[in-house]
Each structure stands twice: as C-alpha cells, then as structure tokens.
Amino acid sequence: MQNEIKIKKKAQKGEDGCKVISVRMKDELLEKLDNLSAKTNRSRNELVNILLESAIDIVKVEE
C-alpha cells in the first residue's frame, strides 16, 4: 500500500508565459472564426494564436 499521494504544483495564472488581451472585431470576422472553430474543434483562442503565429512573420510594412 502506498503511503503518500504526490500532486505536482500547478502554475499560477500568468506563469504559463501567456498574457490575456482584449480584441475588438467585426461580427463577420467573428462569425468566420466561430465557423472555423466548429470545423476544427479548436477554441477561438487556439485559432487566433495559430493564425497570428502564421501571419506575423510574413507581414510587410509599407512606408
């Protein structure tokens, strides 16, 4: 019989390397995001992060 139960300490909020932000978007874009979410079984949050990660390095700023 085991004498102890070991539980790993969970990171406190904000210690996972992520920050919470707020984003405003048009209804049409949100609807597209929700449709993609339903098709992929991923949360809005996951999709926003995936899409931003994919796009951030290919953006060209025009002067």
Question: If we measure between CA atoms, which residue out of 25, 44, 42, 41 comes closest to residue 33?
Answer: 44
Q: How far apart are CA 36 and CA 58, in angstroms?
A: 22
Query: Which pLDDT value is given to residue 3?
Result: 83
Distance of alpha carbon 53 from the chain centroid: 10
* pLDDT tens-digit map of 42-57: 999 999 999 999 999 9
Q: How far apart are CA 46 and CA 51, in angstroms?
A: 9
Whether 47 and 40 have beta carbons less than 8 Å apart is answered as yes
Show the low-confidence residues of the chain (pLDDT under 70).
Answer: 1-2, 11, 13-15
